[in-house]
Chain A
Amino acid sequence: MPIFDGLANKLTDITARMRGKSRVTEQDIKDMMREIRLALLEADVHYQVVKDLVSEISDKSKGAAVMESLTPGQQVVKIVHESLVDILGQTSGKIAVSPSGFTVLMLYGLQGAGKTTTAAKLALMLKKSGKKPMLTSVDVHRPAAAKQLEVLAKQIGVDCYIKPEEKSASVIAAQAIERARYMLCDTLIVDTAGRMTIDNEMMEELKLIGQTVKPTEKLLVVDAMIGQEAVNVALAFDKEIGLDGFIMTKLDGDARGGAALSIRRMTGKPIKLICVGEKVDDIETFYPDRMASRILGMGDVLSLIEKASQNIDEKKAQDAYERLKKNQFTLEDMLEQMEQVKKMGSIKDILGMLPGMGAKNLPVDEVDDNAMEKPAAIIRSMTVKERRNPSILNASRRRRIASGSGTTVQDVNRLIKQFEETQKMMKKFSGLSKGRKKGRGFGMGNNGFPF
């Protein structure tokens, strides 16, 4: 998020200016409210929602908790965060199941919101939970839209009914229902064509399809990057066809996703699921507190932890840890760890997820994502024997490694030195943990990072 600074940082700045004053004044609160307003607008929260929220927050902030606090900035952030969580999560967001035993889920949205991909993700999620879903595409407008769904369905092993030659969406829908019942499926997911809400003809088509399939759940798919128009889109769909909830997509991007707040507040309908990646299993339950942190740019420690646990190979980490304990940590292990860290993505991205590490605090120029490239190249230029036993590295071997990795002998020396330091540190740790309870990590978790 290069151009956004976290709201927390801004409020802390204001509080810093107030230092030395005995108490918070009305003007200070006003300044803070201005920052909150800007932060929410920059996060694409709808202006009306911003206006209402800021006045609510302002009232709450005038209470004793803030005015008499030693850390009013943090108190206000807390109030803002709580208000957002409040709006985002008033009702639960489970996908409903029809009591008749045959559930129809229908997906709507603007063009390019990600309906087709979401349909497949939803089907896989249901399949994993023991349902027997079927997919169908009634998109008769975009070229190859039905084909796209069919390919995805094949990937996840779910039945799919398409009819590319048929020009009437509701005819396909009716046939799909029949087919799904015949196949003894318990859920039909209907993927519709993307449309603008101002396109009356297209909105009529939706109503027609709706009459045919009688959807149990009508879900609007919303792109997390959408701007101020989100509310109007959601309200228009809701008015025309009556929505049951939302699915937000592309949350793996770096958009703040203020739309989530706007549509939740303006329609009162829950956000049921979020999509966080391009793979078919990248669909998740919606967590209001995480979303609130994201909108405020407060960093997302929970996501960071998840990212780490997703990308780090438990077994490899455990092996490295075991060897560490026995003081057998080698350059091979070091290389392995560098690769594990790299898998989590760019170091800048990871730092950005930490609270208080907004763009402003981040010395972007000093964070070099390629910092780990050089040592990795050096280690890769060593023979297996050298990696396991660096003490055999004489001057001639070091020269060979340097030219092999495109570095200098000094670089190689530096790496070896660093490695020896690490090893020394490990020795201390392993000594410590032996002294204490056995099997506990060395205060860094058991992922075994030396850095």
Chain B
Amino acid sequence: MGFLDVFKKGLKKTRDFVSDGFNKIAANMGVFDEDMLDELEMLLVQADIGARSATWLMDKIRTHIKKTGDASREAVLNQLRVGMLEIVGKPGRLDFQKGSLNIILLVGVNGTGKTTTAGKLCSRYQKEGFRTIMGAADTFRAAAIDQLKVWGERTSTPVISHDEGSDPAAVVYDSIKAAQARKADLLILDTAGRLHNKQNLMAELAKIRRIIDREAPEAKVETLLVIDATTGQNAVVQAQVFSEVAQVSGLIITKMDGNAKGGVAIAVSQETHTPLYLAGLGEGVDDLIDFDPDSFVASLLPEA
């Protein structure tokens, strides 16, 4: 199955929602009038695209109509597609080389699916022949370490851990030392969920980030922010604050398969310009796929 199909299947709900909605609005006449454009804007907001991005997209469409006088369904749809692609940007790929140390640091607010993503990433890179190792730096949530260890067993990957309640920075330090000693290709660090407005927890994260830079200057480090696709406009604030504190280099959007409409991907991209690397489309080990902007936008909109 190609990416487009996977996306279409995973995002079926979103797709039906936006494209059916679009078709319904455009059904009466072939051309859009002001009321229909308003309805379209509401439709975008309902998909969690956010008032700001929705306004931006609608301005683009309105300007186009004013300039060309073409308010046909095709023209509106095309402008929408172009605008969305402009926001979501070019596809970004995680690029790791075997033979030297790579580090993935997973960060995010509580309950977005960091631990599950750590397990999925581990399985994915292991299949590609990477020597993997995981660090359980979530020492706060009860049984988070056990949860990661289960993933470690499933993928026969060593998990470096301390006791619950211990200093996560120390776990990170030990994990790096272990990864270096065992000549691992990829170290995946799971951290505790933290709300971005908690200053001390964010300071803890900044410390973890500093330790990585200090202890593994040779490594290629990707700090990935895990965002729950069901999140509303708060996701934008999350992305901004985490980027400031932990030098987020990319985003992972999880739970894209279910109830979410996934439009939040667009809202976040518009505000942060951070590449969207991966999308979680299910609970299975293989349900973490590369995020492809073209497929994503195509899967949102009805066919021309």
Binding site for B on A (CB under 8 A): 1-3, 38, 41-44, 47, 51, 110-114, 116, 141-145, 147-152, 155, 196-199, 223, 225-230, 232-233, 236, 250, 252-256, 258-259, 278, 345-346, 349, 369
Contact = CB atoms under 8 A, between A and B. Distances in A.
The 7 closest A-B pairs by CB, nearest first: A112-B111, A227-B232, A196-B258, A44-B232, A143-B150, A148-B143, A151-B142
A254 B45 contact: no
A256 B110 CA distance: 16
Contacts of B235: 225, 227
B247 interface: no
A233 B259 contact: yes
A227 B195 contact: no
Nearest to A194: B111
B147 A142 contact: yes
B185 interface: no
Contacts of A42: 50-52, 233
Contacts of A149: 142
Contact of A254 (B52, B150, B237): B237
Interface string B255-299: 101111100100000010000000000010000000000000000
Nearest to A45: B232
A51 B42 CA distance: 10
B232 A3 contact: no
Interface string B198-211: 11000000000000
Contact of B45 (A47, A226, A369): A47
Contacts of B234: 44, 225, 253-256
Contacts of A223: 111, 228, 230-231
A283 to B, nearest CB: 15
Interface residues of B, number: 51
16 contacts: A3-B237, A42-B51, A47-B42, A112-B111, A112-B228, A112-B255, A143-B151, A144-B143, A144-B147, A145-B147, A147-B142, A147-B147, A155-B142, A196-B255, A228-B45, A278-B140
Contacts of B48: 227-229
A2 B232 contact: no
Given A114-B111, A196-B259, A229-B261, A349 B232 contact: no
A225 B109 contact: yes
B200 to A, nearest CB: 9
Given A44-B233, A151-B142, 20 more contacts: A110-B255, A112-B111, A112-B113, A112-B228, A143-B147, A144-B149, A144-B150, A147-B142, A148-B141, A148-B143, A151-B143, A196-B257, A225-B232, A226-B232, A227-B260, A229-B230, A229-B260, A253-B197, A254-B197, A349-B199
Residue in A114, A152, A228 with the greatest tally of chain B CB atoms within 10 Å: A228
Interface string B163-176: 01000000000000
A19 to B, nearest CB: 27
A199 B255 CA distance: 13
A386 B100 CA distance: 55
Contacts of B186: none
B259 A2 contact: no
Contact of A227 (B142, B151, B230): B230
A151 B113 CA distance: 20
Interface in B28-65: 42, 45-48, 50-52
A233 B228 CA distance: 15
B146 interface: yes
Contact of A253 (B140, B195, B260, B261): B195
A30 B13 CA distance: 34
A141 to B, nearest CB: 8
B17 to A, nearest CB: 10
Contact of B232 (A141, A228, A236, A254): A228
Of A111, A145, A232, most B-chain CB atoms within 10 Å: A111
Nearest to B142: A151
Nearest to A112: B111
B220 interface: no
B73 interface: no
A150 B195 CA distance: 24
B191 interface: no
B237 A2 contact: yes
Nearest to B140: A278
B259 A229 contact: yes
B146 A227 contact: no
B231 A346 contact: no
Interface in B98-113: 109-113
B236 interface: yes
Nearest to A47: B46
A249 B142 CA distance: 17
Nearest to B236: A3
Contacts of B50: 42
A198 B259 contact: yes
B109 A227 contact: no
A47 B50 CA distance: 11
A255 B236 CA distance: 10
Contacts of B142: 116, 147-149, 151-152, 155
A228 B43 CA distance: 11
B18 to A, nearest CB: 12
Contacts of B45: 41, 47, 228
Contacts of B180: none
B259 A147 contact: no
A253 B109 contact: yes
Interface string B211-238: 0000000000000000010111111110
Contacts of B110: 112, 114, 250, 278
A228 B47 contact: yes
A120 B261 CA distance: 31
Contacts of A233: 230, 259
A250 B198 CA distance: 12
Contacts of B124: none
B144 interface: yes
